[in-house]
Every structure is written in C-alpha cells, then in structure tokens.
Amino acid sequence: MEYYSNQISKLIEELSRLPGIGAKTAQRLAFYLISQPVESVNQLATAITEARTKVRYCKSCCTLTDEELCPICASQNRNHKLIMVVENSRDLAAYEKTGKYDGVYHVLHGAISPMLGIGPADIRLKELMQRLQGDVEELIIATNSSLEGETTAMYISKLVKPSGIKVSRIASGVPVGGDIEYIDEVTLLRALEGRVEL
C-alpha cells in the first residue's frame, strides 16, 4: 500500500491482524486514531500493553485477572462449594451478567478437541481436580453445547463422579424468544428429551 505513508501502512497492517478487522475497517480505524488527541491515543496504547503484561491467571479458578485471586474467588459473599466450569473468561462474564449465580467458577481455557489436537492435558483440568480435593458440593458443567463442549463435559463428569461430588450440566433446549420453526433438529430433540413437568 505505497499510497499511504509508512507509519500509516504499518498501523493499518497491525490493526488488520486483529480478528474480525478487515482491510477497510483497519483503514478507517487508523485514520480515526491519527485524528484523535495524542493523550487518548496513548491511553489506548498503554491499555493494550498493560493488559498484556499485567494480566495473569487467578490462582484458584484460572480466569484472567490482575490479582493473585480474582474478585469472585476472593469474595466472601460467594458460595465456594458450588463450582461452575466454563470454557473461557467470556463465558464466565456472560453468567455473571445474569446476576443470579452466587457460586464460583473454574475456567478451562479451551475444550477437548481431538480434531484440533487439544487433549485433557491442554486445558486447566489438573487445577480443577486439585480444587475438588477441598470442600465442594456441586460441579456445574457449563461448557458450550458444541461437539468439543459436550466431549469435555462428558470427560469431566466421568472423571469426577467416582469422588461422590454432584455433577450437573446446564440445560440444552430452545432459547427464550426462540422460534421453533427456525430451530435446528438437534436442539428440538434436546428440548424434547429435557422436558420438565409443569
């Protein structure tokens, strides 16, 4: 892209490496950044480097945090005997937004996927098993409803059940507001199998 100056081309190139940012969006973002006050641009750059260097894994639940223990694991108001297993920190945030879950989490940072060569040793399972040595009443598996998520859920449940800890899986079915007409067959079958008495 020789019609732009070096610095602009470099910025566009760097921005277009981000996921979901194509060449056109990168170009728009680059020109936007150049037009902004120096301080606010520096703020963004600092936020990027600081987040990358200072963020680490919570000692207990493995979510991303800046402290040794994340705010949820450190909280006295949460039920530490109830652990929800999620695939990543975004899934944790999604459940936190509901505001109704008072247990703690365990973030796997992935799911078992033989296709991608991701085995049980590549996700944070060892850390989970260690936590289960403590006082835990129930383990809720909230991995995605995908092939990988289901495989992971099955694997964990087989691993944990012998210890006597209650293992549950979040319900699968028609989403709220979902139109049955447009929902795939597998989900419809799941919803049928998982029907509850009224």
Query: Tokens at residue 82, please?
Result: 């109830």
Which sign, positive or negative, has the C-alpha torsion 113, 116, 117, 120?
Answer: negative
Yes or no: say if 70 and 91 are a contact pair by the CB < 8 Å rule: no
Binding site for its own copies (CB under 8 A): 1-8, 10-11, 13-15, 17-21, 25, 27-34, 36, 38, 40-55, 64-67, 70-72, 88-90, 92-93, 96-97
Yes or no: say if 89 and 118 are a contact pair by the CB < 8 Å rule: no
In angstroms, what is the minimal distance from the CB of 57 to its own copies?
11
**C-beta closer to its own copies: residue 2 or 193:** 2
C-alpha–C-alpha distance, residues 20 and 121, integer Å? 30
In angstroms, what is the minimal distance from the CB of 29 to its own copies?
6
In angstroms, what is the minimal distance from the CB of 56 to its own copies?
9
In angstroms, what is the minimal distance from the CB of 51 to its own copies?
4
CB count within 10 Å of CB 122 equals 15
Burial class (CB in 10 A: 0-12, 13-18, 19+), 177: exposed
**C-beta closer to its own copies: residue 23 or 147:** 23
**C-beta closer to its own copies: residue 10 or 59:** 10
Closest C-alpha among 97, 96, 121, 100 to residue 109: 121
**C-beta closer to its own copies: residue 39 or 135:** 39
**C-beta closer to its own copies: residue 40 or 76:** 40
Q: Helices (H) and strands (E) in the chain — how many of each?
A: 8, 6
In angstroms, what is the minimal distance from the CB of 54 to its own copies?
5
> Which amino acid makes up residue 169?
R
